[in-house]
Structure 1
Amino acid sequence: MDLTALLDRLPEPTVLVLGGLTVGILFGAFAQQSRFCLRAAALEFSRRRPADRLPIWLLAFSSALIATQFLALLGEVDTGETRQLASPQSLSGALIGGAMFGTGMVMARGCASRLLVLSATGNLRALLSGLVFAVVAQASLYGALKPLRDWLSGLWTTVDTGGNDLTTFLGMSEASVFLFGGLWLLAGLGFAWRNRSSVWRLAAAIGAGLTVPLALWFTTAMTRQAFDPVQVEGVTFTGPSADMLMLFLSAPFEELGFNSGLVPGVFLGSFFAAFLTRQLMLQGFESGPSMARYLTGAALMGFGGMLAGGCAVGAGITGASLFAVTAWLTLVGIWLSAIVTDHVLAKIPRAHVAALDTFPGGRQSTP
């Protein structure tokens, strides 16, 4: 990607913001149309009732992984310069943070990206939960929760194990990496065929997944052509959400970059996709107990995502596509804790679990 002409006309930070905005708009639109949601996919798997959310997540995940590795093979993405592989990461943070995030995700009925997408369509529950998520993430990054996060992160790091590249630890060849990704893709297509999923929603899921390598591709190009140092970035929401909150509350404390455009881009993309398909609708909390559950879940996600170094998309798709050990630990932790939390909530009497729709049989539905 040659950005020379654009960089000659615009300042580097502006180009980075525009790149983040473009990627965000695409992700927001595709995620809204596909109803991409890790929480919903995990619950379908937990209840052994695979419908359309599981194949949607699998297709987004596998398309991101395969395309990222293909671009890395061509030399268009420099995976070694990503935060997940270029610097020491926390293994203990991945395990603990992933478990916290998965629990919070079920309680809040959506991960960080899903809350952002739903907020743009008029879901006030998601909007308030997203704000709590961002506040707690910011407190974990720079505020009162930072000492606790630092302590938990330092218990076990990749410095102790000699790196964070899973392909190196497992001795995976390039062929085995693509075979691995292909198996996930086939699984997604198999579930989609079995459940006769909408072709448009499946295509949108793949589109959402492809925004991850697109982000890596763009930021890699910027590292090679920009004068100032640029971090190679995928798509993630924990850190950017916290930074966006501070951008609105105070003067910017750091230079604007790719992530500065990502969050507003997702909001815009989701809004316009919902507007064009007539899916905008105001929704609010239905009771006090449900509000408490949503906000508690959002707080758990805010701290857990910052502790783990990524959210369901940042670690679960971007990091996993890079084959970062910590990202895979986070992803496994999210899935397992989401399944456990779902089973625990299913045993709570219906009267104490407000505002939950039901499957036949009385269990809570996906959003």
Structure 2
Amino acid sequence: MDLIALVERIGEAPTAALFGMITGLTFGIAAHRSRFCLRAATVEFARGSMGPAVAVWLLTFSTALVWVQGASLTGLMRAEDARMMAVAGSWSGAIIGGLMFGIGMVLARGCSGRLLVLAATGNMRSIVSGLIFAVIAQMSLGGWLTPAREYLAGLWVTPGGRNVDLLSTSGMPDYMGLVMGIALAVLALEISRRNRIGFGRLVFASGVGFAVAVGWVLTFGLSQVAFEPVQIESATFTGPSAHTLMYFLDRNAVLEFDIGLVPGVFIGALISAALTRELRWQAFDNALVMRKAMIGAALMGFGGMLAGGCAIGAGVTGGSIFVATAWLALFCMWIGAMATDYLIDQKHLATA
């Protein structure tokens, strides 16, 4: 069945949700099996190690660059049409929100995407933290925290009502994005070789990056045949977590890509955990861990919404199409996470 026939048969909104589900299932399975986690990568790097977590993250990021830039060069998507690129970006939001998100993911022991994956395995810490993350994200999107987010985001914005395309602004040819992705993939494979990472984990790490490309290509394809405007988007978890929460609370909410994405990730990770026999209930270790996780989740909810995306949304999805504020947000997430690990976790280990 071709795309037009699918849209005519089930409708545009259900098709968008279906595409979100496909993207989410791919992401959930691959993220669980590869143990993809930006927080783990930043902690390794902060402690002077280019270990397995760094290798997996870098392979995911580079794979997303390769697939997405390849799709762009072959006409399967247009980065300039993506919502992240077509609206004004916030430099101040990327800096402040990125730092907050980085701090939060170390306190919560996982970024929002990782928490969703772990929640599917029965991890109560991740379930509680994920719910707090979603509630704060919704409050930042359209609730009591909205004025604060809008004020901070408005301090410094990109000119011209659009975000900045790093490739075109720097004058580099279109194919340089693909070249950079290949170069980073080679580096990731070399780090993986030094850490003796198995072939299977490498394949699944690449699968996380592939899931990002799947989302971009599917939503772009839908936008070309849909009668109503369709947002061209891919995997991210700040806005979608808030939208999914409201979908189950508001009978008037409508189907969209986000509503398929979040459940898709959960189901994909659940299937993977069941097949690998990793389903088990896990509680908080102690009250201190619980407090840190709850504070961290709240910081990620507000910070991710302010930054324009989470560790996946800005760090991989936005980065794959060279959105300038996404790259800045990712950089600030690394800085915030490394500083928090040094000031809190490393000092705690030293005094333990």
TM-score of the aligned structures, taking structure 2 as reference length = 0.97
The residue aligned with 1:317 is: 316
The residue aligned with 2:40 is: 40
Amino acid at match of 1:277: T
The residue aligned with 2:263 is: 264
Asked whether the 8 Å contact 2:122–2:281 carries over to 1, the reply is yes
Amino acid at match of 1:278: R
The residue aligned with 2:65 is: 65
The residue aligned with 2:85 is: 85
Q: Bigger shift: 311-320 or 6-15?
A: 6-15
1:191 and 1:6 map into 2 onto residues whose CA distance is: 43
The residue aligned with 1:113 is: 113
Cα 1:252/1:116, change in 2 over 3 Å: farther
Identity value in percent = 47
Cα 1:228/1:191, change in 2 over 3 Å: same
The residue aligned with 2:296 is: 297
Cα 1:349/1:109, change in 2 over 3 Å: closer
Describe the SS at the equivalent of 1:110: coil
What does 1:1-367 align with in structure 2 at a 5 Å threshold? Answer: 2-159=2-159, 163-253=163-253, 255-350=254-349
1:219 and 1:334 map into 2 onto residues whose CA distance is: 27
Deviations 1:117-142 (A, max 9, x none): 00000000000000000010000001
Amino acid at match of 1:55: A
Asked whether the 8 Å contact 1:24–1:265 carries over to 2, the reply is yes
Higher helix share: 2
Asked whether the 8 Å contact 2:65–2:177 carries over to 1, the reply is no
Asked whether the 8 Å contact 2:86–2:163 carries over to 1, the reply is no
Deviations 1:155-183 (A, max 9, x none): 00012797411112211112432222122
1:13 and 1:340 map into 2 onto residues whose CA distance is: 42
Describe the SS at the equivalent of 2:282: coil
Asked whether the 8 Å contact 1:97–1:306 carries over to 2, the reply is yes
2:67 and 2:348 map into 1 onto residues whose CA distance is: 45
Cα 1:248/1:163, change in 2 over 3 Å: closer
**How many equivalent pairs are there?**
352
Amino acid at match of 2:200: W
Q: What's the RMSD between the two structures over aligned residues?
A: 1.6
1:239 and 1:161 map into 2 onto residues whose CA distance is: 21
2:209 and 2:162 map into 1 onto residues whose CA distance is: 30
2:340 and 2:41 map into 1 onto residues whose CA distance is: 14
Cα 1:163/1:21, change in 2 over 3 Å: closer
Asked whether the 8 Å contact 1:84–1:164 carries over to 2, the reply is no
Asked whether the 8 Å contact 1:31–1:205 carries over to 2, the reply is yes
Describe the SS at the equivalent of 1:48: coil
- Which runs of structure 1 show a deviation greater than 4 angstroms over 4 or more consecutive aligned residues? 160-163
Q: Bigger shift: 43-52 or 139-148?
A: 43-52
Point out where structure 1 has 5 or more consecutive residues left out of the alignment: 351-360
1:66 and 1:211 map into 2 onto residues whose CA distance is: 12
Q: Bigger shift: 160-169 or 33-42?
A: 160-169
2:161 and 2:235 map into 1 onto residues whose CA distance is: 26
Amino acid at match of 1:269: G
Asked whether the 8 Å contact 1:2–1:221 carries over to 2, the reply is no
1:40 and 1:285 map into 2 onto residues whose CA distance is: 19
Amino acid at match of 1:11: G
Deviations 1:234-261 (A, max 9, x none): 11100000011112222244x3111110
Asked whether the 8 Å contact 2:86–2:162 carries over to 1, the reply is no
Cα 1:5/1:160, change in 2 over 3 Å: closer
2:114 and 2:13 map into 1 onto residues whose CA distance is: 27
Cα 1:152/1:267, change in 2 over 3 Å: same
Deviations 1:199-232 (A, max 9, x none): 1011001011101111110001100111111110
Point out where structure 2 has 5 or more consecutive residues left out of the alignment: none
1:114 and 1:126 map into 2 onto residues whose CA distance is: 8
Amino acid at match of 2:165: D
2:39 and 2:277 map into 1 onto residues whose CA distance is: 24
2:246 and 2:309 map into 1 onto residues whose CA distance is: 19
1:21 and 1:80 map into 2 onto residues whose CA distance is: 24
